[in-house]
Amino acid sequence: MKVYTKTGDTGETSLLGGSRVLKSDLQIEAYGTVDELNSYIGLARDLIENNAIKTELIKVQNKLFTIGAHLANDQKKAKIKLPKLDISDIEFLEKSIDKMEKTLPPLTQFVLPGGHPTVSHVHISRSICRRAERCVINFNETSHNVNPQIIKYLNRLSDYLFVLGRFLCQILKGQEVFVEY
């Protein structure tokens, strides 16, 4: 199988199931942004030395790949059996957030992204996650076919990435900087 097919040279691409759509389609924007998020989390994971966190991020990346497949699926034609998304995926993130938050001081102010280069990459991942969530919601407004678990997962994932940034800042002995008013 060749990497290049030349079928996208006119600005179209195929959904899972075969339908052709413009690369500017909201559906493509949604799963493309999830793919961007997945790639950036991979970069953040490569910078983290903690094996437990790396394992969590691999689980997140696998779930994002599944979400991308759901979003790339042609609702009208595809007969592809996709892995399930369910509440346990969201609960996994919530449990991890709760575990990390037990070690963190309570927030009384807004935190500026940064504090350590690794933490900064996690914050960029968080902001890409928020954009992915907006793209998926935008696509859902027109298609009404997005699994609601996807939107919930992306919302919780951004919370997870925020707390992970704070947690890593603590582990890496970085400096949290708060918004000054």
Q: Domains in the chain, ordered, with CATH?
A: 12-176 (1.20.1200.10)
Coil, strand or helix: which one is 107? coil
pTM confidence score:
0.93
* Banded pLDDT at 129 (limits 50, 70, 90): very high
Question: Higher confidence at residue 96 or residue 17?
Answer: 96
Top-confidence residue, 78 or 95: 95
Query: Which of 11-15, 99-103, 160-164 has the weakest average pLDDT?
Result: 11-15
Q: What is the pLDDT of residue 20?
A: 83
Mean pLDDT computed over every residue of the chain: 92
pLDDT higher at 178 or 7:
178
Closest of 149, 112, 116 to residue 127, by C-alpha: 112
| Mean pLDDT of all residues in 114-134 | 97
pLDDT digits (tens, 9 = 90+) for 49-79: 999 999 999 999 999 999 999 999 887 776 7
Average pLDDT over residues 18-47: 92
- The number of angstroms, rounded, from the C-alpha of 153 to the middle of its chain's C-alpha atoms is 8
pLDDT at position 25 is 86
Strands 20-22 and 12-14: antiparallel
Under DSSP, is residue 20 helix (H, G, I), strand (E, B) or coil?
A: strand
Asked whether the predicted pLDDT for residue 136 surpasses 70, the reply is yes
